[in-house]
Amino acid sequence: MEKHVFTKNWFEFNSKENWEKIIPIINPTKILEIGSYEGAASCYLIDVLSKNKSIELHCIDTWEENDDIKKEEESDVESRFDKNIKISINNSKNKIYFYKYKNESHVALSKMIISGINNFDLIYIDASHYAPDVLSDAVIAFKLLKPGGMLIFDDYLWSGDENIVYYPKIAIDAFTNIFSKHIKLIPAPLNQIYVVKIN
């Protein structure tokens, strides 16, 4: 059996232990991932959730040069994403409705709103670390999340620059404060923030 190839263990290190507890409880069927890199989180969701049902998965990424991807690695990272997703889909016991959007997140998310692609059970935000981008992703994505759905922010405690606007934390804090009447925070280790949309 062909195996996934992940060159980074970010998902395994930061998320998997929490997700093993939370994902079975929310049991999402329609999922949006903003920032996919090599597909580790997406493949985990396909592998776990498709054992019992069909799922719909939407993935947004530019797969272009950024803090994590060097110019010469662009095509390799996207190619690994495509191959990893294909492996999980081929191994799935149920149908996977998969959609890939190679675009900047604010563009892809805006097109989803216009096209009526919404009512997601789970949205995972793990793209740009630049605070204005994180806040934009969160605000637009929240419109696409159904009541009772969960929004997961990654990299809450990430810091890689002296300028605070390059920290996701201030954007995530701004979002949770502004939307405090419309969300419920779920306790979890602080590298990720888990938010449920309430009516």
The three-state secondary structure class of 158 is coil
Task: Of 191, 173, 188, 190, give the one whose Cα is nearest residue 26.
Answer: 188
CA distance linking residue 176 with residue 184, whole number of Å: 9
What pLDDT does 69 receive? 55
Averaged pLDDT, groups of 10, the chain, 199 residues long: 85 81 94 96 96 97 72 74 97 97 97 97 94 97 98 90 86 97 90 93
Q: What phi, psi does 196 have (nearest 5°)?
A: -105, 135
Q: What's this model's pTM, rounded to 2 decimal places?
A: 0.93
Task: Of 195, 125, 196, 116, give the one whose Cα is nearest residue 154.
Answer: 125
What pLDDT does 147 receive? 97
CA distance linking residue 79 with residue 74, whole number of Å: 9
What pLDDT does 190 receive? 76
CA distance linking residue 31 with residue 5, whole number of Å: 22
Please state whether 25 falls in left (phi above 0), alpha (psi between -120 and 50) or beta: alpha
CA distance linking residue 85 with residue 108, whole number of Å: 20
Task: Of 12, 6, 143, 19, give the one whose Cα is nearest residue 79.
Answer: 6
In this structure, which topology does domain 10-186 adopt according to CATH? Rossmann fold (3.40.50)
**Structure tokens of 133?**
């981008």
Q: Which residue has the tokens 């890689």?
A: 160
Domain boundaries, the chain: 10-186
What pLDDT does 73 receive? 62
Three-state SS annotation for 26-80: HCCCEEEEECCCCCHHHHHHHHHHCCCCCEEEEEEECCCCCCCCCHHHHHHHHHH
The three-state secondary structure class of 8 is coil
**Structure tokens of 179?**
């939307």
CA distance linking residue 193 with residue 170, whole number of Å: 13
